[in-house]
Amino acid sequence: MARDTKAAFAYIGPAMFVLLIVAALPLGVALATSTTNWHLHRAAQREFIGLANYIRLFEDPRFIYSLQVTLLYTAVSVGVSMIGGFVLALMMRRTFPGRNLVRALLTIPLIMTPVVSATMYRVFFYDADRGLFNWILGTLGLPTPVWVASWPMAFYAICIIQIWFMTPFVFLVCDAAMESLPREPFDAAKIDGAGYLQRIIRLVIPMMRDTLIFALIFRITIDYRMFDTIYVTTRGGPARYTEVMSVWVYNRALRSFDVGYANAGSVVMALVVALICLGLMLYNYRRREAVS
């Protein structure tokens, strides 16, 4: 078969060149500097130290903690938003006047600037004395925590923002997928006496498996690398309790100036999420093989 190599350079080349500069080159620099003791305050004594940074990482309880809290944060906010978005999509199957308007309005959290959303939550909702959350809790006679300044409330605070932000994404994806599901299997199942819940579990979820896995991978990668909302809400605090990986790398590099070490951290960070995603893709692939 003839190949369009020359045309490929003309059409795909420029994009590849741009990606080479903004993605491949930085990745190379990250890998290279992760093997040095480069510290911005002692830039002159930059030496190759092999894998010493990586060994240091795994002996650093704060890094291990950061990895754990990132995974926990990802698990909680992905889990809740996946279920919430799916249920929301089911809810919107029912027709009612103004349905399309509601669907459009539900996309608003998703397109809102995350930094703005986080600021709003922090100032208007989480403020210990004048925030709405504590006002509501206080009115109901419940304890009023100092949200972003206490553990585990600070953790819940960042999860709530992320769930609010990302549930609409899962909703959109599920809504579109449900729209294109064929009707016949459901009618048949209904005639056979399958209940609503049974039809959802036995029919809707299996038929949407590819979509759900796609949404899951997408959601995981976004929460796992989240920086904006967490940095704005808690700055990784109180103490370093909500210092997720992105914030950890940022602080090591731009507060402690330990850039070699910080880069080693981001390499490990990328490897972990790559493994998670590959695992999910493989699982989906196997599953599909098993079905066919």
Partner 1 sequence: MSEQVRSVQRTRFIAPRVERSLITAGHALLVVATLVAALFPLFWVLLGSFKLPADVMRLPPVIVFEPTIANYLTVIRDRFVFFFENSVVISGGSVLLTIIVGVPAAYGLSRLRIRFKKTLMLLILSVRFAPYIIFALPLFLIMSELGLIGHRPSLVIVYTIINLPVVIWLMRAFFDDIPTELDEAAAIDGASRFRTFMSILVPCARPGIATVTILSFIFAWNEYLFALILSGRDSQTLTVGLTRFLGGMEDAIRWGQLSAWSVSIVAPIVILALLVNRHLRRGFTGGLG
Kindly identify the residues of this chain, within the stretch 100-119, that bind partner 1 according to CB under 8 A: 102-117, 119
76 vs 161, beta carbon nearer partner 1: 161
How far is it, in rounded angstroms, from Cα 10 to Cα 8? 5
Stretch that binds partner 1, among 53-61, 71-79, 85-93, 201-209 (CB under 8 A): 85-93
Residues sharing a CB contact under 8 Å with residue 7, sequence separation 6 or more, in sequence order: none
263 interacts with partner 1 by CB under 8 A: yes
Q: Which is closer to partner 1, CB of 83 or CB of 116?
A: 116
Binding of residue 267 to partner 1 (CB under 8 A): yes
Calpha distance 259→38 (Å, rounded): 6
Quick one: which segment of 13-21, 61-69, 150-158, 284-292 binds partner 1 (CB under 8 A)?
13-21
Among 81, 232, 243, 261, binds partner 1 (CB under 8 A): 232
**Which of positions 131-150 make contact with partner 1 (CB under 8 A)?**
132, 135, 139
| Cβ-based nearer residue to partner 1, 93 or 286 | 93
Report the site for partner 1 in 169-208 (rule: CB under 8 A): 169, 172-173, 175-177, 190, 193, 195-196
Spell out, one character per residue from 34 to 73, where the chain touches partner 1: x when CB under 8 A holds, - when not.
----------------------------------------
